[in-house]
Chain A
Amino acid sequence: MKHLLSTENLAATDAIRILDTAEEMSAVGDREVKKLPALRGRTVVNLFFEDSTRTRISFEAAAKRLSADVINFAAKGSSVSKGESLKDTAQTLAAMGADAVVIRHWASGAPHRLAATDWIDAAVINAGDGTHEHPTQALLDAFTMRRHWSRLSGVASTGADLKGMRVAIAGDVLHSRVARSNVWLLKTLGAEVTLVAPPTLLPIGVEHWPCKVSYNLDETLAGGIDAMMMLRVQGERMNASFFPSTREYSRRWGFDDARLRALDELGMKETIIMHPGPMNRGLEISSAAADSPRSTVLAQVRNGVSVRMAALYLLLSGDSREAAPINTATPAFASPSSKESN
């Protein structure tokens, strides 16, 4: 694995490896010294062509906990606003010696372009491209679900998948890269996914996705679910009217107080409520739901750092890249002993 661009092509073994590594990384947050020296001397560039707070600081925290140097590059106020192309920006970063580029771009496919060309020889991590994918968000969601799911079944989460878990994803699927990445990843991990949205907020071709589609949130809830993921209504991407009013949206597709009570009435004690943030309280999720013990919103933020540490570590630590000149012919270094140690 050299890049992390999408979850659609992510093999189950790779996904579970990232989640298992994240499980070990999460222990670092509880320690006295919250830092590991694994990526010392490596440079991670956060290349953000689109506004983001939590994803950027999450990547920044992850890289810093692994001792990497972090350079933040926001398109606003940079040479990009003077008309610099992606190619020139990438080549500039390559000349500065970036080892990994975390890119968020408003154009779907920009990270793939960066990875497929020889503009820059760094690991590329997609931190959200247009309405396409947001793989680390899906991985942190899966990590949160896996912890919950394995706690319920009483098995260790390491190595486990999400077989049999029923997940509903509700809201603005049309504009949501989070939904896309989650559908592919959760399918790979064995969960059953149902998308719930008004027909106007479902993309063309959704019937070919590996999930069920529903227009009615209450029916889906009544059918029984283990995790309810609400998506943000992306006002900034809406250039047409997709629903008559926000009031109608929140009544039909928002997770309001009545639906929160319905979970108790339907006997779903262990169902969690997830949201990738930032939340529009009162629109797609009510304050009572967001602050209830079922809510995993803050756990998701915490797990985001662990998952991004795992991704950075797995992409940057191996020798698949050009290694520094070291005499690997020396048997002592090639570690020929009984195991991976000396």
Chain B
Amino acid sequence: MTEVTSAHVPSRVVLNQADIDRALTRIAHEILEANKGSQDLVLLGIPSRGYPLAVRLANKIAAADPTVNAGAIVGQLDVTMFRDDLSHQPTRPPHHTRLPLSGIDNKVVVLIDDVLYSGRTIRAALDALVDLGRPRIVRLAVLVDRGHRELPIRADHVGKNLPTSSVEKVRVHLEETDSIDGRPINEVVIEAGK
């Protein structure tokens, strides 16, 4: 649990709890629509905040399609060891990678992350996937797309397109991972740069 300290820099809330929930409901239906049903679906969340989003999406998909067992289609994919900036950043401890029991071979894998920015995390995720199996299709769903891509990568499902300046910071707070003064929070905030 990350305790969010009240920001000293000016910030504005761009998505509140209801907005996040609506966006996820829409993405869940988009995923089902694009896949023409729930067959072979696997949702892989990228730590730390992609995983709780993947769990939420899996629950929404299960609510829309009663044949789906939410726990059986969701997993977590750690990309730490595949990043291209390992030697330029402070050491990052790796997270756990956990795949659904059915594996990912010949599945339709939807990668899920909170913010799509340079695209480098997704590139690392694609590399990590190759070492774990061979999905039939890989798609990408993100809660926020803030632009400034550095690689030819785009999301198939986007909760909200946020035009940002590259000096601004986009922070996603989810009740599964964050709290403020001990209270859980769900919101997306843009902080002004220094």
Asked if B81 contacts A37 (CB within 8 A), the reply is yes
Number of A-B contacts (CB under 8 A): 112
Interface string of A2-37 (1 = CB under 8 A from B): 000000000000000100110011010001110111
Asked if A319 contacts B115 (CB within 8 A), the reply is no
Asked if B88 contacts A338 (CB within 8 A), the reply is no
Asked if A339 contacts B88 (CB within 8 A), the reply is no
B92 in contact (CB, < 8 A): yes
Interface string of A313-328 (1 = CB under 8 A from B): 1100111110110101
Asked if B113 contacts A341 (CB within 8 A), the reply is yes
**Cβ-closest chain A residue relative to B122:** A342
Interface size class of A (residues with CB under 8 A): 35 or more
A335 in contact (CB, < 8 A): yes
- Chain A residues with CB under 8 A of B91: 313-314, 317-318, 320
Q: For the complex formed, measure the closest distance between the CB of A1 and the CB atoms of chain B, giving whole angstroms.
A: 8
Interface size class of B (residues with CB under 8 A): 35 or more
Asked if A21 contacts B93 (CB within 8 A), the reply is yes
Asked if A36 contacts B169 (CB within 8 A), the reply is no
Asked if B115 contacts A25 (CB within 8 A), the reply is no
CB contact between B120 and one of A27, A36, A66, A342 (< 8 Å): that residue? A342
- Chain A residues with CB under 8 A of B121: 341-342
CA distance A32 to B85 in the complex (A): 25
CA distance A24 to B114 in the complex (A): 23
A38 in contact (CB, < 8 A): yes
CA distance A313 to B119 in the complex (A): 24
Interface string of B78-97 (1 = CB under 8 A from A): 10111001111111111111
- Chain B residues with CB under 8 A of A35: 131
In the assembled complex, 9 residue pairs joining A and B whose CB atoms fall closer than 8 Å, in A order, are A27-B96, A317-B91, A332-B166, A333-B85, A336-B167, A338-B115, A339-B172, A341-B46, A341-B114
A-B CB proximity, top 6 nearest? A342-B117, A318-B91, A33-B131, A341-B121, A342-B118, A36-B81
Interface, chain B (partner A; CB < 8 A): 46, 48-49, 78, 80-82, 85-97, 113-122, 127, 130-133, 146, 148, 150, 166-172, 188, 193
